[in-house]
Each structure stands twice: as structure tokens, then as C-alpha cells.
Amino acid sequence: MTDSRFEDLPNIAPGELHPIDTHALAGSDSPDHPPRILVLYGSLRPRSFSRFASEEAARLLRWYGCEVKTFNPTGLPLPDAAEPDHPKVKELRDLATWSEGMVWVSPERHGAMTGIMKAQIDWLPLSIGGVRPTQGKTLAVMQVSGGSQSFNAVNQMRILGRWMRMITIPNQSSVPKAFAEFDANGRMKSSPLYMRIVDVCEELVKFTWLTRSRSGYLTDRYSERVESAEEVSRRVNQGAI
């Protein structure tokens, strides 16, 4: 009998896709709700391969038991071109606060991540009133390319993840010649490149279970313990630069 859980994952070898052993990762006092994962992608094209890749990741993350939300960047203003109460900015920031981990998927354009991807990250402040919406959360980075395989975009996003004080997992995915890796319906074909996306999602879920209840302790710093929340907020948010 076919396991219905795999109906939306036609390229998976069911016997090799293992559920996450949460008891091996989380302590007895850790929260047991589904990990909350926010997915960002970096293209507005109708046939967007970064969106297709992000949708594949979202399907896998849901199979692994996560609650997944994807932000649509359509209508997001450029950084500093609107106030923080702009509906799309507020939506993005609320999702970042809600999340316990993130997936960033960008096309590579002119040897870098897209401006659409960077704009989303730039709207996520390091601090909002002394509360950091990204610090201590897990992050997985992936990219798609129109040509040969490259790692420029994922390398840049790793730098940003570190700057946002996130726990960026070791694994990553880079899909070259993306136009050949997805079918007419936007589903990724079976290949070693697809298996790498599975690897990335599995690792992200494991790291999220392992760290989410401990992120406050892991990111606790001496230098900040001697500052008040007001001082931290004033230092991190130095006004428009």
C-alpha cells in the first residue's frame, strides 16, 4: 500500500526519508510544537525558479512536521522608501518574529543575490525596541542559477545570516541551469540537486529542534548584559544611515 504522506513528493524514496527523531535533539523541557519556518524567495517572475525551489522546500519541511509560511515579496517597497508600518513591511516583520527558522532562496543575478532578496533582508532590523527578530533563529540558504553552478548568492546570504545573528546550518543548495531542473508545472525533477534540497531541509529541521529552546542562552553576551534594553536599542538602531 502506498503511504499517502508521499503523494506530493513523487521524487522521494519513501524508505530513506526518515522522520525527525525529536527525542534525540530536544530536551524534556523543550517546546514540542511544530517548528515554525519562514520561507523567503528572491524573484517576482511568473515562472520563478527560486519560488519553485522554495515551494519544494516548503513541501519537504511540512512533511518533516513543520509549520511553514512563505512571504510573497510582491508589493514590498524598497528599504527606506516607506515607513515600517507599510502593510507589506509589517507582514514581513511579523512573520520574522513568528518564525523559529528561515529558508532564503535567491536567484543569482550579475554574480550576486537579487535586489528583491536583499530588500527583504534589509527590512528585517537587528532590533525592534530591544527585541531582535532574527537572533538565535536557524537559517538555510539556497540559490538557483541560469548558467553553471555558482555559490556567490549563498555565500553572500551566509554573511547576511551571520550579521543578523542567525544560526546558519552547514548544508546549502545551489541549482545550476535551473530552467532544466523544473517541469512545466514548476515541480523539481528527480536528481542529485533535488536530493541536496532534501538534505538541506532535513538538516534545518534538526538544527531548529536542537537550538530553538536554547537560542536565548546561546546568544547571551557579556557585553550586552551590562547594557539596558534601551541602550541596546539605541546602539543597534542608530537612525537612518
Q: pLDDT for 142-197, tens place per residue? A: 999 999 999 999 999 999 999 999 999 999 999 999 999 999 999 999 999 999 99
Q: What's the rounded Cα separation, in Å, for the pair 155 and 143?
A: 10
Q: pLDDT for 132-151, tens place per residue? A: 889 999 999 999 999 999 99
Mean pLDDT on 211-240? 75
pTM confidence score: 0.89
Identify the band that residue 235 occupies on the pLDDT scale cut at 50, 70 and 90.
low
- What's the length of the chain? 241
What is the maximum span of the chain, computed from C-alpha positions, in angstroms?
61
Q: Is the predicted pLDDT of residue 240 greater than 60, yes or no?
A: no
CA 184, 190, 193 angle in degrees (round to 5)?
105
Residue with cell 535533539: 25
Helices 115-122 and 152-163 cross at an angle (nearest 10°) of: 10
- Sequence-separated (6 or more) residues with CB below 8 Å from residue 16: none
% of the chain surpassing 70 pLDDT: 92
Averaged pLDDT of the chain: 91
Domain 33-224 has CATH 3.40.190.10: no
Query: Read out DSSP for 112-169?
Result: EE-HHHHHHHHTS-S-BTTB-SSTT-EEEEEEE-SSS---HHHHHHHHHHHHTT-EE-
Identify the band that residue 47 occupies on the pLDDT scale cut at 50, 70 and 90.
very high
Among 67, 19, 36, which residue's Cα sits nearest to residue 138?
36
Domain segments of the chain: what residues? Answer: 33-224
Mean pLDDT on 48-53? 97
Q: pLDDT for 9-19, tens place per residue? A: 998 898 899 99
Return the C-alpha cell found at 126: 537587528
What element of type H or E holds 173? strand 173-175
What confidence score (pLDDT) does residue 217 get?
87
What confidence score (pLDDT) does residue 241 get?
53
Mean pLDDT on 217-227? 79
